[in-house]
């Protein structure tokens, strides 16, 4: 069973996001769930990949036009 260590909720337009840092017997991970129109999509990033994920996200966002 997962333990939620920290969580936030965010609504953007008609989408609802749940961002949770969790832990289970296999380790820690970030779980991002998008809920829209009654459907859910989830992405899970193991804690060992969080620095790479953050770096890639920063690079993509810095290159995006405003």
Range of the domain at 51: 3-63
Between 62 and 65, the higher pLDDT residue? 62
Q: What is the pTM of this model?
A: 0.87
Structural domains of the chain, count: 1
The H or E element spanning position 1 is: none
Instruction: Return the closest-CA partner of residue 53 out of 33, 22, 35, 30.
Output: 30
pLDDT band at 22 (very low <50, low <70, confident <90, very high): very high
The domain spanning residue 14 has which CATH number? Answer: 3.10.450.700
């Amino acid at each position: 069973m997962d333990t939620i260590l920290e969580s936030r909720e965010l609504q953007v337009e008609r989408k609802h996001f749940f961002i949770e840092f969790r832990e289970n017997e296999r380790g820690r991970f970030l779980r991002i769930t998008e809920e829209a129109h009654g459907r859910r999509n989830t992405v899970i990033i193991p804690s060992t990949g969080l620095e790479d994920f953050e770096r890639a996200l920063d690079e993509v966002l810095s290159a995006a036009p405003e």
